[in-house]
A and B are shown apart, each in its own frame.
Chain A
Amino acid sequence: MGGSYPYPPGLGQEWLVQHLFRPLPGPLALLAVFGCVALFALWVWGMMRLSSGGRRRVTAICTFLAGLFYALAFFLPPGNVATGSAEIGGQRAKFTADITWDEIPDPNPPAPPAEGEEPPEEPSWREPRPIERNLTGRLELTELANEPTAQDGRDFLTISGKQNADGTWALESLGPDGPTPLVATSDGGYAVTTAAGTGRLQMRVQPAANIVKGYEAPLANALNILGGFAIFLGLINLSLVHGRTLFGAKPGWINSLAFFFGLLGMIIFGLAALKYKDLDPTAPQPFVAAAYAVMFDGLLKPLQSTTFALLGFFIVSAAYRAFRVRTTEAALMTIVAFIVMLGQVPLGQMLTAWIPLDSPWAVLRIETVTNWLLVTPNTAASRGILFGAAAGSFALSLRVWLSLERGAYFGKEF
């Protein structure tokens, strides 16, 4: 099974993977880690020596470059399509193709584990295999055929191929008699033979200019590690607040104790229970797994869902105390709210269930009215709001990207 990457690797990515970003044996890896720490410390030291203006400039430049990455990934042509046409018997046939980068399969794949043998644990890193650029396309012959015969009512010819080292393409057509190579003609086209006769195929391949696309996955990995470590920020903050209350024996210290009970219990049992992966739910369980089940199913789940369920009481109370119909707008809103409330539940739907579904009056059935309210006026009004919000967020993002934003946060001294 070959790999499949629809986009080209990023600029220099193959070189980096081959020479720099690859696993090292134990002591060397440790050395590399220390090297990274030292470089990072040096970088921080350098950053700290910058003046206030310098810090601002560095931040603005890095912010811009960060945004540029995703902007380029989106705007540069990814080189994953080809289009063209063929002239066969004086008629034109449309050609479209997908282009992917595929790993060349391993000629000697590792043998699968024998029956009954434990499969070895998969390593988290695998040597990337060389890749090649492949094309799969179809030539639409519907316009040529008098009567559409093939599936979907369309007649087409499948064409596949791969790119040669010199940039040209070796194509072949997949007819009923097996693959037939297409002969390249002197004008850059290909001679193509179909049931309707012979002709010439001309195609244009989108340039694979997306030099950053291949870095999206490594960046996502890095950001997930970055985001993962950010969680300890909340942990430290909460622990500081509750630690002060608890150890200072301030009022409410028992609540802080409860906080630590929940926090430490969950972390200790949760992490300890990780090694029990495939537990049979009907067999006796190890203590840590049982304790984790009590913490997760007995505390976290009910506490969180009940906290949210309190909203049920609040909305009843709010509807009763605060929902006042005094203006035309409020009246309109109330009527629609009542219809929608009725239309979504069986009891409300029963009110108009006596109108037969096939009668012209079926449009007055409450679920039909509810659906119309949701699909027409609600959709249009929500879309109006959406347009405003989208334009606003687009403008704000541009300001952030170009470091033009001056808010409470961005205006702070660097």
Chain B
Amino acid sequence: MMVAPATVETVTSIVAILATLAILSVVYRENPVYRLFEHIFVGVATGYGVVVIWSNYLGPGFWKPLTEGVWYVIIPALFSLLFYTIFSPRYAWLSRFLISVLFGLGAGQVFRGFTTEVFPQISGSFLPLLPREAIGETPAVTWWTVLDNTAFLVTLLSVMTYFFFSFRHEHKSVARTARLGRWLLMIAFGATFGSTVMARFSLLIDRLQFLFDGFGKLFGG
């Protein structure tokens, strides 16, 4: 059976608008229609996970080679059975064995991760604190840059002091630095809050645009 593309588009638009309105209805109050669509969402999301894993990886990366005689792809598949032992109390420890080994792999990766992520952060914190003229390819350091760099280092050091829990912040200088660190942290949190507001609205704007566009297409011709 073949379906005309216009029909597919219309049906998709109607279903999508209904689904959007059903979820938005929870803003007014919790209701059965919202619950129903919430469950459909869980269903389609799980189903999509299966489809995408199969089509992107397990189909071409496991099943197809297996049928072509690449027998050894069965080995990781067999070990994945260990995940399912959690359903049996007797065998459940084998799932913990597998997860522990996967954690081990992750722990081995942390050496590389720590070195490549954190070391450039440390070297990036060595900033010039004295003005100088440009030398060759090294750009000049102006008084503005010096001021900026000082602010940067004061913030970094005081925030790190605030997060240093290895000893009590008893000495006055330490306590004050930590207090300054807390204030400066608030700047970062303020920036995060402002930025988060932007993020949340973007998602809502996208939905409203979708609704208006959808209505326009369906009723405006």
Which of A63, A233, A336, A344 lies in contact with B186, CB distance below 8 A?
A336
* Distance of A307 from chain B, by nearest CB (Å): 6
A305 near B203: Cβ-Cβ < 8 Å? yes
| Interface SS majority for chain A | helix
A270 vs B152: C-alpha distance when bound (angstroms): 52
Asked if A169 is an interface residue, CB under 8 A from chain B, the answer is no
| Interface residues as binary, B40-79 with A (CB distance below 8 Å gives 1, 0 otherwise) | 1111111111110111011111101110111111111111
B71 near A66: Cβ-Cβ < 8 Å? no
| Interface SS majority for chain B | helix
A245 vs B4: C-alpha distance when bound (angstroms): 38
* Distance of B166 from chain A, by nearest CB (Å): 11
* Distance of B141 from chain A, by nearest CB (Å): 15
* Distance of B206 from chain A, by nearest CB (Å): 6
* Distance of A120 from chain B, by nearest CB (Å): 14
Q: Which residues of A contact B27 (CB under 8 A)?
A: 310, 313
B residues 54-111 touching A (CB-CB < 8 Å): 54-55, 57-62, 64-66, 68-81, 83-84, 86-87, 90-91, 93-94, 96-97, 100-111
A283 vs B44: C-alpha distance when bound (angstroms): 26
CB within 8 Å: A-B pair count: 440
Asked if B126 is an interface residue, CB under 8 A from chain A, the answer is no
- Please judge, given known A-B contacts A255-B36, A340-B191, A382-B188, whether A224 and B61 are in contact too, CB under 8 Å: yes
Asked if A297 is an interface residue, CB under 8 A from chain B, the answer is yes
Asked if A228 is an interface residue, CB under 8 A from chain B, the answer is yes
B194 near A339: Cβ-Cβ < 8 Å? yes
Asked if B198 is an interface residue, CB under 8 A from chain A, the answer is yes
Segment of A98-106, A157-165, A182-190, A391-399 in the binding face: A391-399
B47 near A267: Cβ-Cβ < 8 Å? yes
A333 near B104: Cβ-Cβ < 8 Å? no
Q: Which residues of A contact B104 (CB under 8 A)?
A: 62-67, 400-401
A262 near B8: Cβ-Cβ < 8 Å? no
Segment of A6-14, A22-30, A88-96, A203-211 in the binding face: A22-30
A341 near B197: Cβ-Cβ < 8 Å? yes
A124 near B64: Cβ-Cβ < 8 Å? yes
Quick one: which of A123, A260, A378 has the most chain B CB within 10 A? A378
A70 near B111: Cβ-Cβ < 8 Å? yes
- Chain B: how many interface residues by the 8 Å CB criterion? 129
| Interface residues as binary, A374-414 with B (CB distance below 8 Å gives 1, 0 otherwise) | 10111111111111101001100110110100000110111
B156 near A380: Cβ-Cβ < 8 Å? yes
- Please judge, given known A-B contacts A315-B197, A382-B188, whether A254 and B48 are in contact too, CB under 8 Å: no
B194 near A262: Cβ-Cβ < 8 Å? no
A75 vs B15: C-alpha distance when bound (angstroms): 54
A10 vs B81: C-alpha distance when bound (angstroms): 28
A residues 337-353 touching B (CB-CB < 8 Å): 337-341, 344-345
Q: Which residues of A contact B83 (CB under 8 A)?
A: 229-230, 233
Which of A30, A293, A312, A337 lies in contact with B204, CB distance below 8 A?
A312
A305 vs B23: C-alpha distance when bound (angstroms): 10
B100 near A302: Cβ-Cβ < 8 Å? no
B residues 1-30 touching A (CB-CB < 8 Å): 1-5, 7-8, 11-17, 19-20, 23-24, 26-27
Q: Which residues of B contact A63 (CB under 8 A)?
A: 100-101, 103-104, 107
Asked if A249 is an interface residue, CB under 8 A from chain B, the answer is no
Q: Which residues of A contact B212 (CB under 8 A)?
A: none
- Please judge, given known A-B contacts A290-B8, A393-B110, A414-B96, whether A315 and B196 are in contact too, CB under 8 Å: yes
B3 near A285: Cβ-Cβ < 8 Å? yes
Which of B42, B44, B71, B155 lies in contact with A23, CB distance below 8 A?
B71
A305 near B206: Cβ-Cβ < 8 Å? yes
Asked if A134 is an interface residue, CB under 8 A from chain B, the answer is no
* Distance of B74 from chain A, by nearest CB (Å): 5
B residues 147-199 touching A (CB-CB < 8 Å): 148, 151-156, 159-160, 162-163, 181-198
- Chain A: how many interface residues by the 8 Å CB criterion? 146
* Distance of B179 from chain A, by nearest CB (Å): 10
B5 near A270: Cβ-Cβ < 8 Å? no
> Which residue on B lies nearest to A23, using beta carbons?
B69
Which of B36, B155, B189 lies in contact with A258, CB distance below 8 A?
B36
A376 near B151: Cβ-Cβ < 8 Å? yes
Segment of A36-44, A109-117, A173-181 in the binding face: A36-44
Asked if B121 is an interface residue, CB under 8 A from chain A, the answer is yes
B107 near A67: Cβ-Cβ < 8 Å? yes
Quick one: which of B54, B64, B76 has the most chain A CB within 10 A? B76
**Which B residues form the contact surface with A (CB < 8 A)?**
1-5, 7-8, 11-17, 19-20, 23-24, 26-27, 35-51, 53-55, 57-62, 64-66, 68-81, 83-84, 86-87, 90-91, 93-94, 96-97, 100-112, 114-115, 117-118, 121, 125, 148, 151-156, 159-160, 162-163, 181-198, 200-201, 203-207, 210
24 pairs across A/B with beta carbons < 8 Å? A23-B69, A36-B75, A37-B74, A67-B106, A74-B111, A221-B61, A229-B58, A233-B84, A255-B38, A271-B51, A285-B8, A287-B2, A297-B12, A299-B15, A300-B44, A305-B203, A306-B24, A309-B24, A319-B197, A344-B195, A376-B148, A376-B152, A387-B118, A387-B121
**Which A residues form the contact surface with B (CB < 8 A)?**
20-21, 23-26, 28-30, 32-33, 36-37, 40, 44, 47-48, 55, 58-59, 62-71, 73-75, 123-125, 221-226, 228-236, 238, 242, 252, 254-256, 258-267, 270-271, 274, 281-287, 290, 293-315, 319, 328-330, 332-341, 344-345, 372-374, 376-388, 390, 393-394, 397-398, 400-401, 403, 409-410, 412-414
Task: Rank and list the top 3 A-B pairs by shortest CB-CB distance, nearest first.
Answer: A262-B43, A266-B47, A336-B190
